[in-house]
Structure 1
Amino acid sequence: MAELQEKDSAEALVAELHKKITEAFDVFDHENNKVVDVREIGTIIRSLGCCPSEGELHDMIAEVEDEEPTGYIRFEKFLPMMTRVLLERRYRPSTEDVLLRAFEVLDQNQKGFLTKEELIKYMTEEGEPFTQEEMEEMISAAVDPDKQVLHYRDYISTMVVEER
C-alpha cells in the first residue's frame, strides 16, 4: 500500500514538473511548433528556479541540441533533461547566507556597501563577466542613485529565490 502511494506521489510530482516545464517553454514557443530559439533556453531554465553557471548552461544545451546545431531546441528533447534536473534539484539558487558571505568577501573594509565602481570592477573582471546589458540592469536595480553605492544587506533579499 505504501509503495503504491509513493508511486502515485512520484507520478504526481513528475506530472506537475511536466506542466511547469511545458508552460515555461510555451512562453517562448512563438510559432507553437514545440521549438524555441536556443538563446531563450537560459531564461526558460532560470524561470524554473535553476541557476546554472554559463558553463553548466552550455552543457545543458549541448545535451538537448541536435547533432547538427540549428539554433533551436525541440521540446521533446528539453522536457526529459529539464525534468531530470528538477527532480535531482540541481543548480539550486544561493541562500541568503551564502550571498551575504560573498558580498562580505568583496567588501574588504567591512563598510556594509560596495561603491558603483567596485561593483562594476567585480562584475566585469572576476568570475563569469556580466554583459554590458546585465551590468546596467543590475546597477539600475541595486545601486542607490544618490550615493552611488550598493547596500548589499538590503539588496540580498531581492536576490533570494524562495524554495517551492
Structure 2
Amino acid sequence: MSQARLESLRKVIREAFGFFDKLGNATVTQEEVATIMRYLGQFPSEQDVVEVILREIQDDDPSNVVSYDAFEKMMLRCLMEREYDPDDSETLLAAFKVLDPDGKGYIEVDKMKEYLGSGAVGFREKEWAEFYEYAKDRDPNNTNRIYYEDYVAKLTTFVDKHIETLYADAKK
C-alpha cells in the first residue's frame, strides 16, 4: 500500500474517531467502537466486536476506554485486509429468503421484530425503531410488511455511496 493511501486512511479514521472522542483525549468508550467501524465501512458482528476486536485493542486494559492509537492500528488492518467488508446484496437477500420460506417477497413486521429482538444480541427498541423506519414500505397504507428486496437495494446503495464518498473525501 502506498504511503499516500495509508495517510488518507489514517485521516478518515482520525476524523471518524474524533466524532466520538467527547473529551478530546484520544479515547472512546468500548460501546462506540462498532459504530465507528461501521461508519468506516467495516461491519463486524457484535460477537466479533466483543470476542475479537475489543480484546485486541484493549490489550488487557480493564477500563472501558479504547485509545486512538490502538483503534487506528486495528482499523488499518481491517481496512487493508477487508476483514469486515459489508455483505453483498445476494448474501443479504439469501438471508432474508431463509426467513421467507413461502417466497412471498416480504416479511411481516411483527415477525421481523421477533427475529431481530431474539438471540444473545437482539435489537433494543431504539435499534428496532431505526431499522423499521429505514426498512418499511414507502406506501403509508402498507405498514405491516417489509419487502426485503427493496430494503436490500436501498441499504446496499446507501452503504456503497457512503463508503465511496467517505474515502473520496480522504484523498483531498
- Alpha-carbon deviations, 1:113-157, whole Å to 9, x = none? 111111112112357422222112212222235321101111112
For structure 2, list consecutive stretches of 5 or more residues without a partner in the other structure.
165-172
Q: Does 1:159 align with 2:151?
A: no
Highest relative contact order (Cα 8 Å, sep 6+), 1 or 2?
2
SS at match of 1:30: coil
Give the Cα–Cα distance (whole angstroms) in 2 for the partners of residues 118 and 42 of structure 1.
26
Give the Cα–Cα distance (whole angstroms) in 1 for the partners of residues 120 and 134 of structure 2.
21
Which of 101, 105, 109 is the matching residue for 2:94? 101
Deviation at 1:102, TM superposition (A): 1.3
Task: Describe how 1:46-65 pairs up with structure 2 within 5 A.
Answer: 46-58=38-50, 59-65=52-58
- Alpha-carbon deviations, 1:26-65, whole Å to 9, x = none? 1111222111122111111111100000111112111111
Task: Describe how 1:14-25 pairs up with structure 2 within 5 A.
Answer: 14-25=6-17
Match of 1:115 in 2: 108
SS at match of 2:28: strand
Which of 72, 87, 94 is the matching residue for 2:80? 87
Give the Cα–Cα distance (whole angstroms) in 2 for the partners of residues 140 and 26 of structure 1.
28
Match of 1:6 in 2: none
Q: Which residue type is aligned with residue 146 of structure 1?
A: N
The structure with more radius of gyration: 1
Q: Which segment is superposed worse, 92-101 or 124-133?
A: 124-133
% of aligned pairs identical? 33
Q: Does 1:43 align with 2:35?
A: yes
Give the Cα–Cα distance (whole angstroms) in 2 for the partners of residues 32 and 117 of structure 1.
42
Q: Which residue type is aligned with residue 150 of structure 1?
A: I
TM-score if structure 2 supplies the norm length?
0.83
SS at match of 2:2: helix
Q: Does 1:149 align with 2:145?
A: yes
Q: Which segment is superposed worse, 141-150 or 54-63?
A: 141-150
TM-score if structure 1 supplies the norm length?
0.86
Match of 2:168 in 1: none
Q: Runs in 1 of length 4+ with deviation above 3 angstroms?
A: none
Q: Which segment is superposed worse, 63-72 or 33-42?
A: 63-72
Q: Which residue type is aligned with residue 81 of structure 2?
A: E
Q: Which residue type is aligned with residue 49 of structure 1?
A: G
Q: Which segment is superposed worse, 67-76 or 87-96?
A: 67-76
Give the Cα–Cα distance (whole angstroms) in 1 for the partners of residues 91 and 105 of structure 2.
16
Count of residues paired in the alignment: 156
Which of 22, 28, 43 is the matching residue for 1:30? 22
